[in-house]
């Protein structure tokens, strides 16, 4: 089969023109062999990380070339193709700008992590789980409208103070490891439009998404540093219904920052349900807005049957409902029961929830102390005192 280069000399085969003006561009190719948009973009060396195609056209026509211009030394009829594409520069959304800024900071933020000397107790092994669910970082509430203020600065203060208080209340126990879930509606927003991902309902948001994301990232970093001072930390991600993407972006940022830290593990598994095994304990996590609550023990048994079989104490921790509650299910095997805990939240009440009458009375966060041999040996609560906004913990 005769190829086009066998008919026409290459020096007259293709013509490529490019015009760029700030945020727009036009490329045009006239060729015997460039017949598709993808080929035209490649031949014109268009950087698709910067540009995107707004529209394009492709047309062709038959041309007869005299024998002097062919390789066969006889007249040839061929098809000439034109591909014309109009380009526009990709405009970064605020979240992408924020992530770029964070990545720049990551280059200087603790590039190396010195080893922390900690006291160890090999006879008693305990896992401390710090589960601060449904913070809704970025939510905006006005005291005149709902009875209290809530914004980015207040959320950061509550978050850091709660972590410090929960750590302080367990300082008398030897801690082998700290389990630190993130997500679970840590962020109130998931996009620059300030609407919910599923229902597209408008949200009361304290500023632009970039501001919310950067402030939330720094709050998490400070919290992890407090935890690192006590014991090695494992971070796991559980997406919420408000922050399925933004919380995952945060997880990836944390993974990059702590890549060189031997005492911080970031679990980047994208599954929405997570399970952590520690000795005779099996702890499950999900946000709680998708699965029927009564099905969660069965789902756990189906998804991690080996961990289920070797565990004696099993719990599943969920958020979303924003109230402290326990639901017990008796299993059909000999390993006892599974408890589903609906964990409390520190978040404030926004205008929509206030209008519907969903007024929070107890704003709190919870931690759990798991012993390797004996199961759950302690639960700890830290509350926001309504009159002062201060944090106060209790066992």
pLDDT band at 167 (very low <50, low <70, confident <90, very high): very high
- Write the DSSP string, 307-348: HHHH-SEEEEEE-SS-S-EEEEEE-SSSS-EEEEEE--B-PP
Q: What is the pLDDT of residues 74-106, one digit of tens each?
A: 776 778 899 999 998 876 666 666 766 766 666
State pLDDT tens for residues 289-331: 888 888 899 999 999 999 999 999 999 999 866 544 444 443 3
More confident residue, 168 or 355: 168
Per the model's pLDDT, the better-predicted residue between 203 and 2 turns out to be: 203
DSSP 171-216: TTS--SEEEEEEESSSBS-SSTT-B-TTT--B--BSS-HHHHHHHH
Nearest to 187 by CA among 162, 215, 166: 215
| Alpha-carbon 6 to chain mean position | 55
- Tokens for 252, please give them: 């990836």
Q: For 47-68, what is the mean pLDDT?
A: 82
* pLDDT confidence bin for 209, thresholds 50/70/90: confident
Q: What is the DSSP letter of 244?
A: T
Share of the chain above pLDDT 90, in %: 35
Task: Give the tens place of pLDDT for each residue, 120-158.
Answer: 777 889 999 999 988 888 888 777 776 778 888 888 988
Instruction: Report the pLDDT value the prediction gives residue 329, as an integer from 0 to 100.
Output: 41
Distance CA(102)–CA(210), nearest Å, equals 10
| DSSP labels, 84-139 | EEEEEEPPPPHHHHHHHHHHHHHTTS-SS-PPPP----SSS-EEEEEE-B---BTB
DSSP character at residue 141: B
Residue 277 has pLDDT above 90, yes or no: yes
240-249, 295-304, 344-353, range with the lowest pLDDT: 344-353
Q: What local confidence, expressed as pLDDT, does residue 102 receive?
A: 67
177-183 and 233-238 beta bridge pairing: parallel
Q: How confident is the model at residue 20 (pLDDT cuts 50, 70, 90)?
A: confident
Does 380 score more than 70 pLDDT? Answer: yes
Token readout for 251 is 């997880």
Q: How does residue 268 score in pLDDT terms, banded at 50, 70 and 90?
A: confident
Residue 393: per-residue pLDDT: 55
Angle at 59 between CA 58 and CA 61, to 5 degrees: 155
Q: Is the pLDDT of residue 354 over 50?
A: yes
372 three-class SS: coil
Instruction: Please provide residue 176's backbone torsions phi and psi, each rounded to the nearest 5 degrees.
Output: -85, -30
Domains of the chain: 4-89 (no CATH), 94-394 (3.60.21)
233-238 and 264-266 strand pairing: parallel
pLDDT, position 285? 95
In this prediction, residue 89 carries a pLDDT of 82
Q: Is residue 222 pLDDT above 90, yes or no?
A: yes
Q: What pLDDT shows up at residue 348?
A: 67
Average pLDDT, the chain: 81
Say how far apart CA 183 and CA 99 lie, in whole Å.
17
β-partners of residue 65 are: 76
């Amino acid at each position: 089969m005769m190829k086009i280069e066998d008919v026409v000399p290459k020096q007259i085969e293709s013509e490529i023109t490019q015009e760029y003006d700030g945020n727009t561009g036009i490329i045009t190719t006239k060729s015997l062999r460039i017949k598709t948009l993808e080929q035209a973009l490649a031949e014109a060396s268009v950087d698709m990380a910067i540009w995107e195609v707004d529209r394009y056209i492709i047309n062709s026509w038959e041309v007869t070339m005299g024998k002097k211009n062919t390789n066969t030394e006889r007249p040839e009829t061929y098809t000439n193709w034109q591909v014309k594409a109009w380009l526009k520069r990709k405009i970064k959304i605020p979240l992408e700008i924020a992530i770029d800024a964070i990545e720049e900071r990551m280059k200087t933020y603790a590039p190396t992590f010195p080893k922390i000397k900690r006291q160890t107790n090999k006879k008693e092994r305990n896992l401390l789980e710090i589960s601060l669910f449904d913070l809704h970082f970025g939510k905006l509430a006005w005291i005149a409208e709902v009875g209290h203020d809530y914004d980015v600065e207040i959320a950061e203060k509550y978050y850091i103070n709660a972590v410090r208080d929960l750590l302080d209340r367990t300082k008398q126990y030897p801690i082998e490891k700290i389990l630190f879930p993130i997500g679970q509606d840590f962020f109130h927003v998931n996009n620059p439009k300030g609407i919910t991902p599923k229902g597209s309902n408008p949200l009361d948001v304290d500023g632009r998404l970039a501001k919310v994301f950067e402030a939330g990232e720094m709050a998490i970093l400070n919290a992890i540093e407090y935890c690192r001072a006590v014991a090695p930390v494992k971070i796991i991600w559980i997406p919420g219904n408000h922050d399925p993407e933004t919380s995952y972006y945060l997880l990836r940022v944390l993974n990059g920052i702590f890549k060189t830290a031997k005492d911080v593990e970031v679990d980047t598994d994208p599954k929405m349900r997570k399970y952590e095994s520690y000795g005779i304990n099996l702890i499950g996590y999900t946000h709680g807005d998708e699965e029927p609550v009564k099905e969660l023990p069965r789902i756990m048994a189906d998804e991690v049957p080996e961990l289920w079989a070797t565990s004696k104490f099993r719990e599943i921790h969920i958020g979303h409902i924003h109230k402290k509650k326990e639901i017990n299910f008796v299993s059909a095997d000999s390993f006892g029961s599974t408890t589903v805990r609906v964990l409390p939240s520190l978040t404030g009440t926004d205008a929509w929830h206030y209008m519907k009458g969903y007024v929070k009375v107890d704003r709190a966060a919870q931690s759990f102390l798991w012993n390797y041999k004996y199961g759950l040996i302690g639960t700890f609560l830290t509350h926001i005192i309504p009159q002062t906004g201060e944090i106060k913990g209790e066992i």
